[in-house]
Structure 1
Amino acid sequence: MTVRGKILLFAAVAVGLVAVLGGVLFSMASRGLWSTQLMFSMHEQNALYGGLLADSMKVPHALLDAREKRQDTGKALDEQLRRTEADFEHLRELVRQQAAPEALPGELARLDELNRAHLGWMRRMAARLRELPVGGEDRLLHESLDAFEREVLPLLDKAWKVNSTRQSEHKRWRLLTLRASQVLGVVVPLVALVLVFLIAATLIIPLRRSSRALTQGAERIGRGDFTTELLVPGEDEYSTLARAFNRMAAELRDTVREKERLAKAEAEASEREMRRYNALLEETVRQRTTQLEEANAQLLFADRLVTMGQLAAGVGHEINNPLAFILSNLGFAREELGRLEGAPSSEERAELLAALAEAHEGAERVRLLAQDLKLLSHADDSASGPVDLGAVLRSASKMATHEIRYRARLVMESDGLPPVRGNAARLCQVFLNLLINAAHAIAPGQVERNEIKLLARTGADARVTVEVSDTGCGIPAENLERIFRPFFTTKPAGVGSGLGLSVCQRIIVAHGGELTVESVVGRGTTFRVVLPAHTAEQTPKAGALAA
């Protein structure tokens, strides 16, 4: 028999045993449910008989209470009759559930006789009550009780005894059934367990023996002993697999001999090919390295151009204001000079000088703003040297003014800083990005309630620390570890590319510094930049910051 056939046989036996166990359990549960329902039905029938017995006192008192309250005793009687009829209808239903088919007509006839006697007693007692003079209530109660004991109680006792006998017989039968169920509950699982164990043993022992032989032979073949021959008797899958292993070992023996013959010839050719491949690989690595360095430089400059694009609208506004009053003052001066025919008076001369001074001041503001933009957009930023960090911070703050002015107050402290070694354009790019991010973290319209601080100080370890902090919305804790990853951004689409902080971190690390962040949601964020101070011993290295 094949392994598949053995497994199917075992599965069929197991399923059959499970089905037998399920059938036994279902049968036992069904009989137990029916027995429990029958016991409840008998108890309920006894309770109804008890209620009928209680009518011997309850019905007369109910009628007497209605008479004392001057109510209609007929209505009280009808209510009691309806209740009693409902009880008897329920009793008939319970008897139909309990009695055997051959005994059912006699049971129902006896119940109908009890019903007629009970209803007749109630009606006669109600008629007697209507004839009763005032003060004869006690006598009515005694007469009613005597009539109930004489007419109804014998039939009620007989029905009660029949139900009690049936209940006792059912209890005895139920105990016998439960004992038989206990025996079946122990014997059937034991028999099923023994059968499953025997079948499993007859299947597993041969399979394990064949599997062990195959494993040992495969291990010998794996160690290179291709002379191994597996002996697995039978016609199942294991024997087929053993013959396949034997054929494979024979083919491997032939293959090894052929490979040993070709190994020497291939070794020389392989060595020559390896040298050529190594040379080609080195050349490819050099080319890819050069391309990567160029792409990195383009990425840094592209991020700077993105920042400049964000500043374009604000810068235009900054340039437009001084140009407006330059043109206005120059126009005023030209009109005044055209109007004057002789030498101007001292007052006119003072007005002309004031207008020209304001025009000069506006032109100077335009020149300084263009100079700051030129510092940020300069593409040849590989040169490294001492940088006035205070000037860089002032330039970055001026270029970010249009993003900040409608959102928060800018507080800046950057006096007395030593020069740092690096590249001014790249450092300006870093602090401009940090200031714009701080402004975007604050909703516009509440300038007096929000603040952006740009604080720089010199530490005891000859390093300069610059902090950019805001009172904005803060960064959730789950995003703090991801904000320096390329293309990660929490800004809406079209507002940020997700490269700013990644580029900033790369620039600061290339300067030998550190960029860290602390944030509390709802309270604000602080970016901390630490840069090494420039020393006289440091010599410039071209391209040191190109990475």
Structure 2
Amino acid sequence: MTVRGKILLFAVVAVGLVAVLGGALYALATRGRLSTEQLFAMQEQNTLYGKLTGDAVWVPHTLLEAYGKGQELRGVLEAEQLRAEADFAHLRELVALEDMPESLTEDLSLVEEARRAHLGWMEHLESRVRLAGMDGEDRVLHESIDSFRMQVMPYLNKAWGKKRERLARHKRDRLEALRAGQVFGVTVPLVALGVVLTLAATLLITLRRSSLALLRGAARIGRGDFTTELPVKGKDEYATLARAFNRMTEELRDTVREKERLAKAEAESAEREMRRYNLLLEETVRQRTTELEEANAQLLFADRLVTVGQLAAGVGHEINNPLAFILGNLSYAREELERMQGAPSPLEREELLAALSEAHEGAERVKLLVQDLKMLARADDAVGGPVDLESVLRSASKMAAHEVRQRARVVMQTEGAPRAHGNAARLCQVFLNLIINAAHAIPPGQVEQNEIRLVARKGPDTRVLVEVSDSGCGIPAENLERIFRPFFTTKPAGVGSGLGLSVCQRIITMHGGDITVESQPGRGTTFRIALPVHTASESSEPGAMAA
């Protein structure tokens, strides 16, 4: 079948399914309309039965009222009889509308019996009213109601009861039909949709398979495979195209063979020239390879020199501050000793001891700073114990005073901070680096407008938190993830080596803590350090803390 025939078949099936669905929906709508008409007819019959039952009171009351006014009773009675005849005639029409031939004769017979009994009861009612007059109004009403119950109600009740039973059955049947219609309304469209989708998928898959085969054949020819032949099946458009494609492939194959024959002859004549050129090329490649190897060795040597220079700059940067602090204290002690002629006073002795103690502390800092270059490769040992964070922060701020003095105010908030477990010298090195970095982030000259805040407080889960905040220039977002990498720095050449924060992170990790950073460009930076709180059990256990 051709592609056009397949598309036409799909269209015919789709239109046929739509027509079937439309016919089914029309049939359901027609049945629903007829069912509704029958239901309304039955309900109207119930109304008429109720109205005819009300004649037991209405007709006697009407005759008595006419008698009291002096009207002719016969005329009033005939009017009521005509009304009753009209009601029964309408009742017969409604029974005929029910469209139930199997019970139509019986229903009409019940209506006719009720009509005769009703009219007969009305005939006898006139004579009772005349005999009783107005004085016996209550007695006439009671007698007429009793006679209506005995003569008419049995027929009306029989017809009315059957109608109510049929009405209930009709409602039940209609509800079941509606439920079935709902199922039909859901199932049939789904089935039709499945059929349409299946036909569409079959058509599309067939067309796609044919198109892919054609494309694959064209791609093979494009790669130079002129032995490709497409399968020819049927007599559709694709088969015609495949035959034309195969003819084109055969012509291309013949053309290529001719060109190959000519090219082979030319290749044989040019082969000797190529050999000579290849020898020259090989010699040139060997020379260039030797030159590249020498250049690569020079680049590796230069890279090692840069690395050594960065390490030396880092060591100088890290040692400079504590070394200057040591020299300052030793100079002070020497001057004081030269000035003294005799034994120092207690106050002078205390000042000398304090200066020497601080110089000793600075020397220890230099020793630890030198060892910190090894932290990135291996661990060493440092004794751990309770650390007074207030004392450590105060000592670090003093050592960094020469960097901070012209840039910002130092604010400390350490009241109530528990003791941390670790090494005081190591932690002092961390805080000193952070304070100096904070000072470098603030331009000099506006001390009162800027501050470096040092906060120590109790944190969650038996930890103590230390925050070093500044109001400086902040750190760009793209650098936040790289500031802890070794040798990464944004400072100018000669100011920083990029080792400070990397060493700080290693020290904090060594203490079982962690360090994080928050920064907004132009609004400042906060380094937050979490350290374990020192406990009594740790105080009673002598030993070393792995660095």
- Give the TM-score normalised by structure 1: 0.41
- Give the TM-score normalised by structure 2: 0.41
Query: Which structure has the larger Rg over C-alpha atoms?
Result: 2
